[in-house]
Amino acid sequence: MVSTQSIGTPMGNRSPNQQLLPLTAKINSRDRLEIGGCEVTALVEQFGSPLYILDEETLQTTCGQYRDAFKRYYAGESQVLYASKAWSCLAVCAIAAQEGLGIDVVSAGELLTAQLAGVNPDKIYFHGNNKSCEELQGAVEVGCITVADNWRDLETLAKLAASETPARVMVRFTPGIECHTHDYIKTGQLDSKFGFDPNELDEVFTFIRQQTTLSCIGIHAHIGSQIFELQPHYDLADVIVKAFAKATHYGLAPTEINIGGGLGIRYTEADDPPSIEAWASTACTAVAAACKKHKLPLPKLLCEPGRSLVGTACVTAYTVGSQKVIPGVRTYLAVDGGMSDNPRPITYQSVYRVLAAGKMSAPLTETVTIAGKHCESGDVLIKDATLPKCETGDILAVPATGAYNYSMASNYNRVPKPAAVLVRNGEANIIIQRETDQDLLRHDRLPERLRTQE
Protein backbone atom coordinates (compact mmCIF):
# COMPACT_ATOMS: atom_id res chain seq x y z
CA MET A 1 0.00 0.00 0.00
CA VAL A 2 1.33 3.41 -0.98
CA SER A 3 1.37 5.99 1.82
CA THR A 4 -0.52 9.26 1.54
CA GLN A 5 0.57 12.70 2.61
CA SER A 6 0.58 13.44 6.31
CA ILE A 7 0.60 16.85 7.90
CA GLY A 8 1.10 15.40 11.35
CA THR A 9 -0.91 16.48 14.34
CA PRO A 10 -0.03 19.05 16.98
CA MET A 11 2.06 17.18 19.54
CA GLY A 12 0.29 17.96 22.80
CA ASN A 13 1.63 21.12 24.39
CA ARG A 14 4.94 20.99 22.57
CA SER A 15 6.34 24.07 20.92
CA PRO A 16 5.39 25.29 17.47
CA ASN A 17 9.11 25.06 16.57
CA GLN A 18 8.78 21.28 16.92
CA GLN A 19 5.94 21.07 14.38
CA LEU A 20 6.25 20.79 10.62
CA LEU A 21 3.24 23.00 9.91
CA PRO A 22 1.42 25.88 11.61
CA LEU A 23 -0.73 24.89 14.58
CA THR A 24 -3.97 25.49 12.65
CA ALA A 25 -3.06 23.24 9.71
CA LYS A 26 -5.63 20.59 8.82
CA ILE A 27 -7.04 18.62 5.91
CA ASN A 28 -10.60 19.69 5.16
CA SER A 29 -13.55 17.73 3.79
CA ARG A 30 -12.46 18.57 0.23
CA ASP A 31 -9.11 16.84 0.85
CA ARG A 32 -7.31 20.18 0.75
CA LEU A 33 -4.81 21.75 3.10
CA GLU A 34 -6.14 24.53 5.33
CA ILE A 35 -4.10 27.07 7.30
CA GLY A 36 -5.86 29.43 9.70
CA GLY A 37 -9.22 28.22 8.42
CA CYS A 38 -8.29 29.19 4.85
CA GLU A 39 -7.91 26.70 2.03
CA VAL A 40 -4.44 27.05 0.52
CA THR A 41 -5.65 26.44 -3.05
CA ALA A 42 -8.37 29.08 -2.61
CA LEU A 43 -5.81 31.57 -1.31
CA VAL A 44 -3.75 31.04 -4.45
CA GLU A 45 -6.85 31.56 -6.60
CA GLN A 46 -7.50 34.85 -4.80
CA PHE A 47 -3.99 36.23 -4.28
CA GLY A 48 -1.84 34.40 -6.83
CA SER A 49 1.40 32.48 -6.32
CA PRO A 50 4.02 32.18 -5.06
CA LEU A 51 2.29 33.21 -1.84
CA TYR A 52 3.55 33.43 1.73
CA ILE A 53 0.76 32.32 4.10
CA LEU A 54 1.37 33.41 7.70
CA ASP A 55 -0.69 31.88 10.49
CA GLU A 56 -1.39 34.48 13.17
CA GLU A 57 -2.33 31.95 15.86
CA THR A 58 0.98 30.10 15.55
CA LEU A 59 3.01 33.31 15.78
CA GLN A 60 1.07 34.53 18.81
CA THR A 61 1.41 31.15 20.51
CA THR A 62 5.17 31.08 19.99
CA CYS A 63 5.58 34.61 21.34
CA GLY A 64 3.50 33.67 24.38
CA GLN A 65 5.50 30.50 25.04
CA TYR A 66 8.78 32.41 25.08
CA ARG A 67 7.39 35.26 27.19
CA ASP A 68 5.73 32.98 29.75
CA ALA A 69 8.62 30.50 29.98
CA PHE A 70 11.08 33.25 30.91
CA LYS A 71 8.69 34.56 33.55
CA ARG A 72 8.27 31.04 34.91
CA TYR A 73 11.93 30.01 35.04
CA TYR A 74 13.67 33.28 35.88
CA ALA A 75 13.15 34.98 39.22
CA GLY A 76 14.42 38.33 37.96
CA GLU A 77 13.03 40.64 35.31
CA SER A 78 13.07 39.37 31.73
CA GLN A 79 12.34 40.63 28.22
CA VAL A 80 11.97 38.59 25.04
CA LEU A 81 12.96 40.38 21.82
CA TYR A 82 11.97 39.31 18.32
CA ALA A 83 15.03 39.14 16.04
CA SER A 84 13.25 40.83 13.17
CA LYS A 85 15.90 40.03 10.57
CA ALA A 86 14.04 36.69 10.30
CA TRP A 87 11.07 38.55 8.77
CA SER A 88 10.83 42.29 9.15
CA CYS A 89 7.46 43.68 8.13
CA LEU A 90 4.86 45.82 9.86
CA ALA A 91 2.42 43.01 10.62
CA VAL A 92 4.95 40.59 12.13
CA CYS A 93 6.53 43.29 14.29
CA ALA A 94 3.11 44.53 15.42
CA ILE A 95 2.01 41.02 16.47
CA ALA A 96 5.25 40.53 18.42
CA ALA A 97 4.81 43.91 20.12
CA GLN A 98 1.19 43.15 21.03
CA GLU A 99 2.41 39.98 22.72
CA GLY A 100 4.76 42.06 24.89
CA LEU A 101 7.97 41.43 22.97
CA GLY A 102 10.61 43.96 22.04
CA ILE A 103 12.34 44.05 18.66
CA ASP A 104 15.95 43.41 17.65
CA VAL A 105 16.86 45.38 14.50
CA VAL A 106 20.01 45.49 12.37
CA SER A 107 19.46 48.38 9.97
CA ALA A 108 17.77 51.74 9.60
CA GLY A 109 15.04 50.02 7.58
CA GLU A 110 14.31 47.48 10.30
CA LEU A 111 14.39 50.27 12.90
CA LEU A 112 11.83 52.28 10.91
CA THR A 113 9.64 49.19 10.51
CA ALA A 114 9.67 48.54 14.27
CA GLN A 115 8.82 52.19 14.98
CA LEU A 116 5.92 52.25 12.52
CA ALA A 117 4.65 48.96 13.98
CA GLY A 118 4.25 50.78 17.30
CA VAL A 119 7.20 49.34 19.23
CA ASN A 120 8.40 51.39 22.22
CA PRO A 121 12.00 52.59 21.61
CA ASP A 122 12.92 51.27 25.08
CA LYS A 123 12.23 47.79 23.65
CA ILE A 124 14.21 48.24 20.43
CA TYR A 125 17.82 46.98 20.32
CA PHE A 126 19.99 48.00 17.36
CA HIS A 127 22.56 45.38 16.26
CA GLY A 128 25.03 45.16 13.39
CA ASN A 129 28.75 44.83 12.74
CA ASN A 130 28.99 47.85 10.41
CA LYS A 131 26.40 50.44 11.38
CA SER A 132 26.74 53.63 9.37
CA CYS A 133 27.10 57.02 11.04
CA GLU A 134 23.59 57.82 9.79
CA GLU A 135 22.20 54.65 11.38
CA LEU A 136 23.91 55.39 14.69
CA GLN A 137 22.61 58.95 14.55
CA GLY A 138 19.13 57.57 13.96
CA ALA A 139 19.44 55.25 16.94
CA VAL A 140 20.47 58.17 19.16
CA GLU A 141 17.54 60.27 17.93
CA VAL A 142 15.01 57.48 18.38
CA GLY A 143 16.37 56.67 21.83
CA CYS A 144 16.67 52.91 21.35
CA ILE A 145 19.45 50.76 22.81
CA THR A 146 22.51 50.21 20.59
CA VAL A 147 24.43 46.96 20.77
CA ALA A 148 28.06 48.08 20.38
CA ASP A 149 29.77 45.55 18.16
CA ASN A 150 33.15 47.23 17.68
CA TRP A 151 35.30 50.29 18.38
CA ARG A 152 33.75 52.30 15.56
CA ASP A 153 30.32 51.92 17.18
CA LEU A 154 31.60 53.13 20.55
CA GLU A 155 33.69 55.99 19.25
CA THR A 156 30.96 57.26 16.93
CA LEU A 157 28.25 57.04 19.58
CA ALA A 158 30.47 58.87 22.07
CA LYS A 159 30.64 61.79 19.63
CA LEU A 160 26.97 61.74 18.58
CA ALA A 161 25.31 61.49 21.98
CA ALA A 162 24.97 64.24 24.57
CA SER A 163 26.15 64.12 28.18
CA GLU A 164 22.67 64.96 29.45
CA THR A 165 21.18 62.00 27.54
CA PRO A 166 23.96 59.41 27.16
CA ALA A 167 23.55 56.74 24.49
CA ARG A 168 22.51 53.44 26.07
CA VAL A 169 24.76 50.65 24.86
CA MET A 170 25.15 46.93 25.33
CA VAL A 171 28.62 45.54 24.68
CA ARG A 172 28.66 42.50 22.40
CA PHE A 173 31.58 40.10 22.58
CA THR A 174 32.39 36.70 21.07
CA PRO A 175 32.10 34.08 23.83
CA GLY A 176 34.31 31.44 22.16
CA ILE A 177 31.56 28.81 22.14
CA GLU A 178 31.02 26.73 19.00
CA CYS A 179 27.98 24.63 18.21
CA HIS A 180 26.87 22.26 15.47
CA THR A 181 25.25 24.37 12.78
CA HIS A 182 26.09 25.70 9.33
CA ASP A 183 29.32 27.70 9.21
CA TYR A 184 27.48 30.69 7.74
CA ILE A 185 25.21 31.01 10.77
CA LYS A 186 27.74 30.45 13.54
CA THR A 187 28.44 33.60 15.53
CA GLY A 188 29.84 32.49 18.87
CA GLN A 189 33.30 31.28 17.88
CA LEU A 190 36.28 33.61 18.30
CA ASP A 191 36.79 33.81 14.52
CA SER A 192 33.60 35.77 13.88
CA LYS A 193 32.89 39.15 12.32
CA PHE A 194 30.58 39.95 15.24
CA GLY A 195 31.47 41.41 18.60
CA PHE A 196 34.57 42.40 20.54
CA ASP A 197 37.25 39.84 21.22
CA PRO A 198 37.00 38.87 24.91
CA ASN A 199 40.60 40.00 25.41
CA GLU A 200 39.51 43.55 24.50
CA LEU A 201 36.89 43.87 27.22
CA ASP A 202 39.19 45.52 29.77
CA GLU A 203 40.02 48.23 27.26
CA VAL A 204 36.39 48.54 26.17
CA PHE A 205 35.08 49.00 29.70
CA THR A 206 37.81 51.51 30.48
CA PHE A 207 36.85 53.55 27.41
CA ILE A 208 33.14 53.56 28.25
CA ARG A 209 33.85 54.60 31.84
CA GLN A 210 35.71 57.64 30.54
CA GLN A 211 32.83 58.79 28.29
CA THR A 212 30.11 61.01 29.74
CA THR A 213 28.02 60.38 26.60
CA LEU A 214 27.89 56.60 26.95
CA SER A 215 25.96 54.45 29.42
CA CYS A 216 26.73 50.73 29.47
CA ILE A 217 23.44 49.03 30.35
CA GLY A 218 24.44 45.45 29.64
CA ILE A 219 26.41 42.65 27.98
CA HIS A 220 25.44 40.68 24.89
CA ALA A 221 26.62 37.43 23.31
CA HIS A 222 25.11 35.09 20.72
CA ILE A 223 26.34 31.67 19.59
CA GLY A 224 24.54 30.98 16.31
CA SER A 225 21.33 29.85 14.66
CA GLN A 226 19.31 26.66 14.03
CA ILE A 227 20.89 24.99 17.09
CA PHE A 228 19.52 21.72 18.48
CA GLU A 229 21.90 21.45 21.44
CA LEU A 230 21.17 22.86 24.89
CA GLN A 231 24.63 22.55 26.43
CA PRO A 232 26.18 25.49 24.48
CA HIS A 233 23.48 27.77 25.88
CA TYR A 234 24.25 26.57 29.38
CA ASP A 235 27.96 27.15 28.78
CA LEU A 236 27.26 30.67 27.50
CA ALA A 237 25.72 31.74 30.80
CA ASP A 238 28.91 31.50 32.82
CA VAL A 239 30.97 33.25 30.14
CA ILE A 240 28.58 36.17 29.79
CA VAL A 241 28.07 36.57 33.54
CA LYS A 242 31.86 36.77 33.98
CA ALA A 243 31.94 39.59 31.42
CA PHE A 244 29.06 41.28 33.24
CA ALA A 245 30.98 41.03 36.53
CA LYS A 246 34.09 42.47 34.89
CA ALA A 247 32.10 45.51 33.72
CA THR A 248 31.05 46.21 37.32
CA HIS A 249 34.67 46.01 38.44
CA TYR A 250 35.44 48.90 36.08
CA GLY A 251 32.88 51.09 37.78
CA LEU A 252 30.13 50.54 35.22
CA ALA A 253 26.60 49.72 36.28
CA PRO A 254 25.17 47.26 33.76
CA THR A 255 21.71 45.89 34.52
CA GLU A 256 21.01 43.57 31.56
CA ILE A 257 22.35 40.37 30.04
CA ASN A 258 21.32 39.37 26.52
CA ILE A 259 21.97 35.71 25.66
CA GLY A 260 20.88 35.97 22.02
CA GLY A 261 18.73 33.26 20.47
CA GLY A 262 19.52 30.39 18.14
CA LEU A 263 16.92 27.70 18.92
CA GLY A 264 16.24 25.60 15.82
CA ILE A 265 12.98 24.54 14.21
CA ARG A 266 11.69 21.43 12.48
CA TYR A 267 12.04 21.60 8.69
CA THR A 268 11.63 17.85 8.08
CA GLU A 269 10.60 14.80 10.09
CA ALA A 270 14.29 14.09 10.76
CA ASP A 271 14.71 17.33 12.73
CA ASP A 272 14.25 17.13 16.49
CA PRO A 273 14.85 20.54 18.11
CA PRO A 274 14.40 21.15 21.84
CA SER A 275 11.18 22.83 22.90
CA ILE A 276 10.97 26.51 23.76
CA GLU A 277 10.23 25.40 27.32
CA ALA A 278 13.43 23.32 27.51
CA TRP A 279 15.53 26.09 25.94
CA ALA A 280 14.16 28.75 28.28
CA SER A 281 14.55 26.53 31.33
CA THR A 282 18.19 25.79 30.43
CA ALA A 283 19.05 29.43 29.77
CA CYS A 284 17.32 30.82 32.84
CA THR A 285 18.67 28.17 35.19
CA ALA A 286 22.19 28.61 33.84
CA VAL A 287 22.18 32.41 34.20
CA ALA A 288 20.79 32.19 37.75
CA ALA A 289 23.43 29.61 38.70
CA ALA A 290 26.24 31.72 37.21
CA CYS A 291 25.05 34.82 39.05
CA LYS A 292 24.97 32.89 42.32
CA LYS A 293 28.47 31.56 41.65
CA HIS A 294 29.83 35.07 41.02
CA LYS A 295 27.80 36.60 43.87
CA LEU A 296 25.80 38.91 41.63
CA PRO A 297 22.16 39.94 41.89
CA LEU A 298 20.01 38.70 39.03
CA PRO A 299 20.21 41.14 36.10
CA LYS A 300 17.40 41.71 33.65
CA LEU A 301 17.59 38.74 31.26
CA LEU A 302 16.99 39.21 27.53
CA CYS A 303 16.86 36.76 24.64
CA GLU A 304 16.42 37.26 20.89
CA PRO A 305 14.62 34.40 19.09
CA GLY A 306 13.91 34.92 15.41
CA ARG A 307 13.64 31.71 13.39
CA SER A 308 11.96 29.79 16.21
CA LEU A 309 9.34 32.55 16.58
CA VAL A 310 8.22 32.96 12.99
CA GLY A 311 9.64 30.04 11.00
CA THR A 312 6.91 27.46 11.50
CA ALA A 313 4.10 30.03 11.29
CA CYS A 314 4.42 30.38 7.50
CA VAL A 315 3.80 28.14 4.49
CA THR A 316 4.72 29.11 0.92
CA ALA A 317 2.34 28.07 -1.86
CA TYR A 318 3.54 27.50 -5.44
CA THR A 319 1.89 26.52 -8.71
CA VAL A 320 3.33 23.63 -10.73
CA GLY A 321 4.44 24.52 -14.25
CA SER A 322 6.63 22.40 -16.51
CA GLN A 323 8.03 18.91 -15.98
CA LYS A 324 11.16 17.24 -17.29
CA VAL A 325 11.60 13.48 -17.08
CA ILE A 326 15.12 12.07 -17.44
CA PRO A 327 14.52 8.29 -17.60
CA GLY A 328 16.39 6.41 -14.94
CA VAL A 329 17.82 9.62 -13.49
CA ARG A 330 15.35 12.23 -12.23
CA THR A 331 12.05 13.98 -12.77
CA TYR A 332 12.04 17.75 -12.41
CA LEU A 333 8.83 19.45 -11.36
CA ALA A 334 9.14 23.20 -11.87
CA VAL A 335 7.23 25.78 -9.83
CA ASP A 336 6.62 29.50 -10.30
CA GLY A 337 9.07 30.58 -7.62
CA GLY A 338 12.40 29.39 -6.29
CA MET A 339 15.61 31.02 -5.16
CA SER A 340 14.18 34.53 -5.37
CA ASP A 341 11.56 33.81 -2.68
CA ASN A 342 13.53 31.14 -0.77
CA PRO A 343 17.32 31.45 -1.17
CA ARG A 344 18.09 29.14 1.76
CA PRO A 345 18.48 25.87 -0.21
CA ILE A 346 21.01 27.35 -2.65
CA THR A 347 22.74 29.35 0.12
CA TYR A 348 22.79 26.93 3.06
CA GLN A 349 21.85 23.63 1.39
CA SER A 350 18.71 23.76 3.53
CA VAL A 351 16.23 20.89 3.30
CA TYR A 352 12.45 21.34 3.19
CA ARG A 353 9.29 19.24 3.03
CA VAL A 354 6.58 19.71 0.38
CA LEU A 355 2.88 18.83 0.16
CA ALA A 356 0.36 18.74 -2.68
CA ALA A 357 -2.14 21.14 -1.15
CA GLY A 358 -5.10 20.13 -3.31
CA LYS A 359 -4.86 16.34 -3.03
CA MET A 360 -3.81 15.60 0.52
CA SER A 361 -4.94 11.95 0.64
CA ALA A 362 -3.65 10.98 -2.80
CA PRO A 363 -1.11 8.12 -2.81
CA LEU A 364 2.56 9.13 -2.80
CA THR A 365 3.63 7.57 -6.09
CA GLU A 366 6.24 9.97 -7.40
CA THR A 367 9.76 10.97 -6.38
CA VAL A 368 10.56 14.32 -7.96
CA THR A 369 12.92 17.25 -7.62
CA ILE A 370 11.17 20.60 -7.10
CA ALA A 371 12.96 23.09 -9.33
CA GLY A 372 12.63 26.85 -9.33
CA LYS A 373 12.00 28.95 -12.42
CA HIS A 374 15.21 30.95 -12.34
CA CYS A 375 18.03 30.70 -14.85
CA GLU A 376 20.40 28.97 -12.44
CA SER A 377 21.16 25.23 -12.29
CA GLY A 378 21.33 25.43 -8.51
CA ASP A 379 17.81 26.82 -8.25
CA VAL A 380 16.38 23.67 -6.68
CA LEU A 381 14.05 23.95 -3.70
CA ILE A 382 13.76 20.28 -2.75
CA LYS A 383 15.57 17.20 -4.05
CA ASP A 384 13.87 13.80 -4.14
CA ALA A 385 10.52 14.93 -2.79
CA THR A 386 7.80 12.30 -2.44
CA LEU A 387 4.47 13.47 -3.83
CA PRO A 388 1.28 12.26 -5.48
CA LYS A 389 1.16 12.46 -9.27
CA CYS A 390 1.18 16.20 -9.98
CA GLU A 391 0.14 18.09 -13.10
CA THR A 392 0.55 21.60 -14.39
CA GLY A 393 -1.60 23.91 -12.27
CA ASP A 394 -1.44 21.85 -9.07
CA ILE A 395 -0.64 23.77 -5.89
CA LEU A 396 2.31 22.76 -3.72
CA ALA A 397 2.84 23.94 -0.15
CA VAL A 398 6.28 24.18 1.47
CA PRO A 399 6.14 24.46 5.30
CA ALA A 400 8.48 26.31 7.68
CA THR A 401 9.16 29.27 5.39
CA GLY A 402 8.58 32.14 7.83
CA ALA A 403 12.22 32.79 8.63
CA TYR A 404 14.78 34.12 6.14
CA ASN A 405 12.55 33.57 3.11
CA TYR A 406 10.78 36.88 2.50
CA SER A 407 13.53 38.74 4.37
CA MET A 408 16.21 37.35 2.01
CA ALA A 409 14.07 37.44 -1.13
CA SER A 410 15.45 39.07 -4.26
CA ASN A 411 14.43 40.15 -7.74
CA TYR A 412 16.82 37.76 -9.45
CA ASN A 413 15.90 37.49 -13.15
CA ARG A 414 13.70 40.53 -12.51
CA VAL A 415 11.05 38.39 -10.87
CA PRO A 416 8.65 40.40 -8.65
CA LYS A 417 8.59 39.42 -4.97
CA PRO A 418 5.53 37.45 -3.81
CA ALA A 419 2.62 38.67 -1.75
CA ALA A 420 2.07 37.63 1.87
CA VAL A 421 -1.25 37.09 3.63
CA LEU A 422 -2.06 36.80 7.34
CA VAL A 423 -4.69 34.15 8.05
CA ARG A 424 -6.89 33.65 11.09
CA ASN A 425 -10.33 32.08 11.63
CA GLY A 426 -11.01 31.78 7.93
CA GLU A 427 -10.05 35.37 7.12
CA ALA A 428 -7.06 36.37 5.00
CA ASN A 429 -5.54 39.83 4.96
CA ILE A 430 -2.77 41.06 2.68
CA ILE A 431 0.25 42.14 4.75
CA ILE A 432 2.67 42.50 1.82
CA GLN A 433 1.47 43.44 -1.65
CA ARG A 434 2.77 41.45 -4.59
CA GLU A 435 5.35 43.44 -6.52
CA THR A 436 4.51 44.51 -10.05
CA ASP A 437 6.60 45.03 -13.18
CA GLN A 438 6.36 48.76 -12.47
CA ASP A 439 7.91 48.16 -9.04
CA LEU A 440 10.87 46.47 -10.71
CA LEU A 441 11.47 49.51 -12.89
CA ARG A 442 10.71 52.15 -10.28
CA HIS A 443 14.35 53.05 -9.58
CA ASP A 444 15.73 52.53 -13.09
CA ARG A 445 16.94 55.56 -14.95
CA LEU A 446 17.82 55.66 -18.66
CA PRO A 447 20.26 58.40 -19.75
CA GLU A 448 19.00 60.48 -22.64
CA ARG A 449 21.84 59.39 -24.92
CA LEU A 450 20.74 55.76 -24.61
CA ARG A 451 17.14 56.37 -25.58
CA THR A 452 16.15 54.89 -28.92
CA GLN A 453 15.73 57.52 -31.58
CA GLU A 454 12.66 57.13 -33.76
Phi/psi for 60 (5° steps) reads -65, -40
Secondary structure (3-state) at 75:
coil
Closest CA to 238 of 219, 251, 225: 219
Residue 127 CA to residue 416 CA, distance in Å, equals: 29
Sign of CA dihedral 55, 14, 232, 281: positive
C-alpha 311 chain-centroid distance: 7
Distances (CA, A) of 86 to 95, 225, 309, 402: 14, 11, 9, 8
Burial of 64 (0-12, 13-18, 19+ CB in 10 A): middle
Active-site residue, from 89, 216, 375, 390: 375
Among 239, 360, 343, 254, CA closest to 294:
239
Cα-based distances in Å from 48 to 58, 239, 318, 435? 23, 49, 9, 12
Say whether the peptide bond before residue 50 is cis (omega within 30 degrees of 0): yes
CB-based contact 263:17 (threshold 8 Å) = yes
State yes or no: is 216 an active-site residue: no
The CB-side HSE value for 414 (13 A sphere, CA atoms) comes to 8
Return the sign of the alpha-carbon dihedral for residues 355, 359, 365, 371. Answer: negative
d(CA 130, CA 228): 29
**Which residues are identified as catalytic?**
375
